Amino acid sequence: MTDRVEDLLRELAPQVLGALVRRHRQFDLCEDAVQEALLAAAQQWPGEGVPENPHGWLVSVANRRVIDAIRSENASRAREERVALLEPPPAASSDMNGWADPDSWVGSDGRVGSDGRGDRDDTLTLLVLCCHPALSPPSQLALTLRAVGGLTTAEIASAFLVPESTLAQRISRAKKTLRDKDFALPTELDDRLAVVRHVLYLIFNEGYSASSGSQLARADLTAEAIRLTRALHRLRPDDDETAALLALMLLTDARRPARTGPEGELVPLAEQDRSRWDPDRIAEGTALVERAIARGPLGPYELQAAIAAVHASARSADGTDWRQIVGLYELLDRIAPSPVVTLNRAVAVAELRGPDAGLALLEGLDLDGHRLAAVRAHLLERTGNPEAARAQYLAAAAATRSLPERRYLEGRAAALPS
């Protein structure tokens, strides 16, 4: 399969699945049908050429598979009922119990839309479905990556360090939950956008700072999060928080080339070669957040993106406008307080007012994982307390499942004077 066909199928898969789910409301059945349509396209298109309307082609083929399955299921059920009642079979029905014929759904020009909806992008429909509030956050993440992102069950399991069988069961349970729920998607889109954004944010964060494994980052996850957020932004261009989330991802991902050394080791922000930062992503992200902020009012993603833009505009670590960053974090802490915000604010305050001021903000802070201990260690080192800093570095190293972060933390501990 050519790269062009593979990329096109990857882009169209969630749109086609969303279109079928919106129409038939049966996730499992529609997903199987779309996979069959994608397989047929992968076999035919490289040799015969991509059809003029590839989206309509896939929808038509997948829709036919769904209807064939429904016909088979209805026929099987009817046979069972006839045997039970010892009645002769009725005449064949032309309306297929209310399901439309696939050819009537695709116009004579091959374009989807004889139902009056047109050749629409249903990516948002599928995103919203995968982020149904009845699902747990881990299930939302897994189902989004599987159905919308196109990742395999094995890839998702590897990203989150769980057995493939566990991840498969999680996805299966999520699909079963959705079967039992009322979709009612047209009335739920706006209410669920915040959940969709949060899921995309979590996917990006897992990719940018992998929580486990031998690699510092998972470029496939960050790329997928950016792609899906772009799709969400295209579908809701006037939603400022969605634009800001995309800006935050672009501005953060712009630093990725400088974030690792030749051996894959972690390079902290202050030591990065900023000439390796991606200028195109910085320019796009900055423009997005500036437009979003200009419209107001400010939301959490707009403030985070604004902070990332300030970092991106500094030519060196010493040239960073920490006063502006502290002000943005203080505002973020007021409108969306969380332990992570407090932790990041403490780092910024330490740069502006000294390490003791940063440590004071950490008093009584409770945060799972290794990052709190890592920040404490860094600030204690700056205060001239190597013994306390070493203990915190080692505690952070023991708490992380990321091998590059562990090596970095252990190296900082080892470099401290006795």
pLDDT of residue 160: 72
Beta bridge partners, 402, equal 213
Q: What is the pLDDT of residues 370-384, one digit of tens each?
A: 999 999 999 999 999
Distance, in Å, from the CA atom of 162 to the CA atom of 182, rounded to the nearest integer, reads 30
* pLDDT at residue 316 is higher than 80: yes
Q: What is the pLDDT of residues 149-199, one digit of tens each?
A: 777 888 788 767 678 899 999 998 888 888 766 554 544 566 678 888 988
Distance, in Å, from the CA atom of 160 to the CA atom of 162, rounded to the nearest integer, reads 6
Q: For residue 76, with 0-12 CB atoms within 10 Å meaning exposed, 13-18 middle and 19 or more buried, which class applies?
A: exposed
Q: Minimal CA–CA distance to 279: which of 301, 306, 250?
A: 250
pLDDT of residue 7: 79
Q: What is the pLDDT of residues 65-119, one digit of tens each?
A: 888 888 876 665 555 555 444 444 444 333 323 223 333 333 333 333 333 334 4
* pLDDT at residue 141 is higher than 60: yes
Residue 315: CB atoms within 10 A of its CB come to 9
Containing 275, the helix (H) or strand (E) segment is none
pLDDT of residue 116: 35
Give the mean pLDDT of 46-62.
90
Distance, in Å, from the CA atom of 70 to the CA atom of 404, rounded to the nearest integer, reads 51
142 vs 80, more confident = 142
Give the mean pLDDT of 241-255.
97
**Highest mean pLDDT of the ranges 26-30, 79-83, 226-230, 252-256:** 252-256
What is this structure's pTM? Answer: 0.75
Chain centroid to Cα 254, Å, comes to: 17
Say which residues have a Cβ less than 8 Å from residue 176's Cβ, sequence separation at least 6.
none
Q: What is the pLDDT of residues 282-309, one digit of tens each?
A: 999 999 999 999 998 899 999 999 999 9
pLDDT of residue 68: 86
Distance, in Å, from the CA atom of 144 to the CA atom of 158, rounded to the nearest integer, reads 15
Q: Minimal CA–CA distance to 192: which of 134, 145, 237, 250?
A: 134
pLDDT of residue 269: 95
Give the mean pLDDT of 235-252.
95
* pLDDT at residue 413 is higher than 90: yes
285 vs 15, more confident = 285
pLDDT of residue 91: 42
- The type of residue at 212 is S
pLDDT of residue 188: 53
And the tokens for 50?
Answer: 């991509």
Give the mean pLDDT of 191-217.
85
And the tokens for 305?
Answer: 């993106």
Contact (CB, 8 A) for 402 and 209: yes
Give the mean pLDDT of 247-269.
95
* pLDDT at residue 272 is higher than 70: yes
Give the mean pLDDT of 39-59.
90
Query: For the chain, what percent of residues have pLDDT higher than 70?
Result: 84
